[in-house]
Amino acid sequence: KRPVGVPDAKLARKVTKVGIVGAGLMASQLALLFLRRLQVPVVLTDLDQARVDKGVAYVNEQIDKLVGKRRMDAGTAAKLRGLISGSVDRSVFADADFVIEAVFENLELKKQIWAEFEKIVKPEAILATNTSSLSLTEMAADLEHPERVVGFHFFNPVAVLPLLEIIKGEKTDDATVATAFAVGKELKKSSVLVKDAPAFVVNRVLTRFTSEVFKAIDAGTPLDVVNEAFDPMGLPMRPIALLQLVGPAVAYHVGETLHTAFPDRFVDSPNLKKIVDAGLPLLVDDEINAEVVKLLDAGDA
């Protein structure tokens, strides 16, 4: 049975080449997932060749690991290695029919990216965004073809978590949503159609949780006490480990978007900001980072 609001799968367009904008941790995980499941050419790009090379190297390393674990045969591995490539020359995206961006969580940057890629790709190519919180409608506002912009939001670790939030902007058309669902199915994810609202559904709820965690830390409870307090609840991860997995900066920016939209519900934590500004990881070898504790002990944020 087709879920409410999901257009007829017959409207879906075929995807024969995927472009990934960004080569960071999330983007590289996406490159690997698209490559494994769709087995079509996947090209990634970033600001410079070193980042691109790092992204491609990650994908090749993961292929090696999968072969090592006997989860992929040598023939498939060789085929996939031939399908992944990276380039700083964006013209290689010209024949991509599904482009997904996973860059820094900043609306202006994402708008700039789509303005640039709109000129490179075909008018019907899908422009998907892995944004965690930003408005699809605003992101597409200045485009000539806003109807092909769609939210395609994954959860960390991408290879493990099945959820995919598909977000329809005000102008997103049915063919785009149908294609997004068809691709989600090929990726073997459980796709849900959600409204274009700040942080959509799952991140809004999760951020309410992590936001309250930092409210307790801001109020003076030590980081490790708050972290371990949840152990009896049987969560898959302690809250600070979850924030580290998501990335403290990503979590902070999602929190900022939600704080702006709902200031009474989401705190803009001064301590989380301090940690993000210092560029410190929250955990080192699975333990609370001593540098973070020192930073928070150093005085009022």
Which residues are identified as catalytic? Answer: 153
Residue 109 near residue 103, CB atoms below 8 Å:
yes
| Type and span of the H or E element at 19 | strand 18-21
Fill in the per-residue mask, 227 to 266: x = in contact with ligand 3HC (CB under 6 A), - = not in contact: ---------xx----x--xx---x----------------
Residue 229 near residue 238, CB atoms below 8 Å:
no
On the CB side of 157, CA atoms within 13 Å amount to 6
Residue 255 near residue 268, CB atoms below 8 Å:
yes
Minimum gap (Å) between residue 195 Cβ and ligand 3HC: 16
Q: Is residue 159 close enough to count as binding ligand 3HC by CB under 6 A?
A: yes
Q: Is residue 25 close enough to count as binding ligand 3HC by CB under 6 A?
A: no
Category of 286 on φ-ψ map: left (φ > 0), alpha (ψ -120 to 50) or beta: left
Query: Count of residues binding ligand 3HC (CB under 6 A)?
Result: 15
Q: Given the rule CB under 6 A, which of 38-46, 106-114, 154-162, 216-224 is the region that contacts ligand 3HC? A: 154-162
Taking the least distance from each CB to ligand 3HC, the nearer of 191 and 203 is 203
Minimum gap (Å) between residue 242 Cβ and ligand 3HC: 6
Q: Is residue 72 close enough to count as binding ligand 3HC by CB under 6 A?
A: no
Residue from 28, 172, 176, 203 in contact with ligand 3HC (CB under 6 A): 203
Angle formed at CA 120 by CA 118 and CA 121, multiple of 5 degrees: 75
User: Minimal CA–CA distance to 257: which of 196, 167, 300?
Assistant: 196
Q: Give the amino acid at 254.
A: V
Per residue in 262-280, is it b (16+ CB within 10 Å) or e — as a string? Answer: eeeebbebebbbbbbeeee
Minimum gap (Å) between residue 258 Cβ and ligand 3HC: 12
Q: Given the rule CB under 6 A, which of 151-159, 184-192, 221-229, 276-284 is the region that contacts ligand 3HC? A: 151-159
Residue from 126, 206, 258, 288 in contact with ligand 3HC (CB under 6 A): 206
The DSSP bridge pattern shows strands 18-21 and 42-45 to be parallel
Q: Is residue 210 close enough to count as binding ligand 3HC by CB under 6 A?
A: no
Minimum gap (Å) between residue 160 Cβ and ligand 3HC: 4
Minimum gap (Å) between residue 97 Cβ and ligand 3HC: 25
Give the number of other Cβ atoms within 10 Å of residue 257's Cβ.
22
Residue from 82, 108, 144, 160 in contact with ligand 3HC (CB under 6 A): 160
Minimum gap (Å) between residue 235 Cβ and ligand 3HC: 8
Largest alpha-carbon pair distance within the chain?
60
Q: Is residue 205 close enough to count as binding ligand 3HC by CB under 6 A?
A: no
- Round to whole Å and give the CA distance between 227 and 241: 8
Angle formed at CA 151 by CA 41 and CA 49, multiple of 5 degrees: 45
Taking the least distance from each CB to ligand 3HC, the nearer of 12 and 66 is 66
Taking the least distance from each CB to ligand 3HC, the nearer of 168 and 204 is 204
Contact set with ligand 3HC (CB under 6 A): 132, 155-157, 159-161, 203, 206, 236-237, 242, 245-246, 250
